[in-house]
């Protein structure tokens, strides 16, 4: 990871609603200008006469061409404010962060715009953990309205039907269903099963090295039995369709 510059900044206080309660966090925002939309979720910025490549945090899109065209129309040459969520760059030398746009007297983050349009889906990492409740709420409204990708068969919300999921191999999907069984193995792996036959039904696998973080975020694994969850990830085949989430932010425990 490559540490890069820290230009002079100004501080604003943003109020973020989390789990139904408002909590204040201090965000460090830099004035910037968009010079190019360099990819579907990547934007080239000029920040205090320095070129910075930004990757929008914790998002994925199954319609990259549509997103890039939308952003090119919305963002090119626009003055924005950028918030970096990490002091380092990714393997493509991009900072990870959030862009804020001025809409009249209000500021709105670009994530919320894209999520509301149904052009992107959340694909969370830890660096954006405190933002997820707000973004999840925006995404939920788009999903309920079948906006954008949520209305397309290939990318709409999936249930745990293995016959459908087996056709989604190698693609990122959002899957929702009830955990029928939790298996905690001696090697530290945890399996969340969603049917009566683990050899063919949909399964979520939590690897041993990741399990402590999941337990801290989700609580006792046994408590997930009979709970509805929503999970995001690449569909792979291992005794039926499976997702192996790398972090607990890819799992949402839902109300019954």
Q: What is the mean pLDDT of residues 38-58?
A: 97
Name, in order, each residue with C-beta under 8 angstroms of 55's C-beta and a sequence gap of 6 or more.
Answer: 41, 42, 90, 92, 94, 95, 96, 97
Per the CATH hierarchy, to which homologous superfamily does domain 157-253 belong? Nucleic acid-binding proteins (2.40.50.140)
Q: What is the mean pLDDT of residues 188-201?
A: 96
Q: What's the whole-model pTM score?
A: 0.88
CB 244 within 8 A of CB 190: no
Predicted local distance difference test score (pLDDT) of residue 7: 37
Q: What is the mean pLDDT of residues 73-77?
A: 93
**Which CATH number is correct for 10-148, 3.30.2350.10, 3.40.50.10540, 2.40.30.10, 2.40.50.90?**
2.40.50.90
Predicted local distance difference test score (pLDDT) of residue 236: 98
Tokens matching residue 12: 């604003």
pLDDT, one tens digit per residue, over 133-170 is 999 999 999 999 999 999 999 999 999 999 999 999 99
Q: What is the mean pLDDT of residues 6-14?
A: 35
Residue 25 has pLDDT above 70, yes or no: no
Percent of residues, the chain, with pLDDT higher than 70: 90
Residue 77 has pLDDT above 80, yes or no: yes
* CA distances from residue 118 to 144, 155, 182, 218, 242 in whole angstroms, order as listed: 10, 10, 33, 27, 25
The ranges assigned to domains in the chain are 10-148, 157-253
Q: Output 106 or 121, whichever has higher pLDDT.
A: 121
């Amino acid at each position: 990871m490559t540490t890069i510059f820290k230009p002079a900044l100004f501080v604003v206080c943003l109020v973020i609603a989390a789990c139904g309660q408002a909590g204040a966090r201090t965000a460090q925002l830099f004035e910037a200008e968009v010079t190019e939309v360099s990819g579907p979720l990547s934007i080239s910025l000029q920040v205090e006469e320095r070129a910075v490549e930004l990757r929008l945090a914790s998002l994925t899109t199954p319609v990259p061409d549509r997103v890039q065209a939308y952003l090119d129309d919305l963002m090119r040459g626009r003055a924005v404010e950028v918030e970096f969520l990490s002091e380092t760059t990714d393997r493509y030398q991009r900072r990870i962060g959030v862009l804020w746009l001025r809409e009249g007297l209000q500021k709105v983050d670009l994530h919320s715009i894209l999520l509301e349009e149904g052009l992107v889906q959340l694909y969370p990492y830890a660096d954006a953990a405190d933002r997820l409740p707000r973004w999840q709420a925006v995404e939920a409204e788009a999903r309920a309205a079948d906006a954008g990708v949520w209305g397309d068969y290939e990318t709409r919300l999936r249930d745990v039907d293995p016959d459908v999921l087996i056709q989604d191999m190698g693609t990122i999907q959002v899957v929702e269903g009830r955990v029928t069984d939790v298996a905690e193995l001696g090697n530290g792996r945890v399996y969340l099963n969603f049917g009566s036959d683990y050899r063919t039904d949909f399964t979520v696998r939590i690897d041993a090295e990741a399990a402590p973080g999941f337990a801290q975020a989700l609580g006792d694994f046994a408590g997930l039995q009979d709970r509805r969850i929503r999970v995001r990830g690449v569909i792979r085949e291992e005794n039926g369709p499976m997702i192996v989430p790398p972090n607990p932010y890819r799992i949402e425990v839902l109300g019954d």
